[in-house]
Amino acid sequence: MDMFKKAKSKLAAVPTVNLCFLPTPFEKMQNLSELFKGINLFFKRDDQTGLAMGGNKARKLEFIMPDVLRQQAKSIITWGGFHSNWCRQVAAAAKKYHIKPILLLLKKPGSRNVFNGNYLLSSLMAADIRIVEVDKDQKLMELKGVKQIIDPVFHEEENQGNKPYIASIGGSLLEGSMKRPWGAIGYVNAFFELLQQAAAQQVTIDVVVVATGSAGTHAGLLAGAKLFSPGTKVVGISVSEDKNTLDRYIKNIADEIFVELEIDLKTCAQDIIVFDEYIKEGYGVLNKEVADSIRLVAEREGVLLDPVYTGKAMVGLVDLVKKGYFKDRENVVFFHTGGTPSLFPYGSELAGFRQN
């Protein structure tokens, strides 16, 4: 059995649950392609996955939830930013299976508890929400950075007889209760789905551009590219961590995917492409460039980006186009990972940038 067939067979055997509307749309950015002449731009619309207003985390949770059920967990403990897309979709997936979602929403000192966006949606789903103030310089991506926050909740659940499942932020890193790369495997599947859609439209995909946060989506797409389309580059626009940190995360997760699928592959340094210069003021901080990118796509394509992930990734994509990073007539796919509810908490800031 060749590697392609073996990977497909192994993927098909991984347990899943049905949380998404798939396949998500694959469509050309006709107006932006005309604006940036010489390049063909496309969307892969994973903002349309459907679960609790959609987003990329739903694909991950289709593979993570069977692990939660296999471990017979009664609660899921996870964490994220105050308006976390991940936490919102964890709440929705957990509720479908009568599992208690416990969301630790981390906020910086002085920031406001705005009751809208993802916080509102998670509240409507009756998630157990704990708001925790953290130092502005505290590292939150890895479990060890939030252990002092997670541990008391974990023991509280154990003492109440609710077997807890600790899910890493974004369903990406292999830690807590998730020992295998379930979340990222969802994006190996997503890459194969994209290839099938592109082939039906007689499009060869040269580059995929994606917002890179907790690294699982990027790692899954990269593993998918190496398995099914080695000529396709996956370019990550960091919204959170520095390039060295993300390179390490992506390599570790992608290599674990190959182990899981029993494929003799490894990622190497030249496979991993991450630009971290667009983080600017930091994770979740809206600036004029991000506000402009959101408006550009909304006005030209009628598609809504968000201020935290896709808006910042679009800043990177547009800048790379202008710098001539992409070759003439290349087909470039922007993986829209969702996050639309985050527009609303940033409404006044978006309005302010418009006035300026």
Q: Are strands 26-28 and 40-45 parallel, antiparallel or unpaired?
A: antiparallel
Backbone angles phi, psi at 230, to 5 degrees: -60, -20
Catalytic residue list contains 229: no
Residues recorded for the chain: 356
Whether the Cβ atoms of residue 58 and residue 49 lie closer than 8 Å to each other: yes
Beta-sheet strands, E only, within the chain: 26-28, 40-45, 75-81, 100-107, 128-133, 164-166, 207-212, 233-238, 273-275, 331-336
Structure token pair of residue 332:
């470039």
CA distances 143 to 80, 171, 249, Å, are: 11, 12, 13
Whether the Cβ atoms of residue 316 and residue 278 lie closer than 8 Å to each other: yes
Whether the Cβ atoms of residue 231 and residue 263 lie closer than 8 Å to each other: no
Q: What span, in angstroms and rounded, lies between the C-alpha atoms of 353 and 67?
A: 44
Q: Which of the following is catalytic: 9, 33, 75, 84?
A: 84
Q: What span, in angstroms and rounded, lies between the C-alpha atoms of 279 and 313?
A: 9
Which residues are catalytically annotated? 84
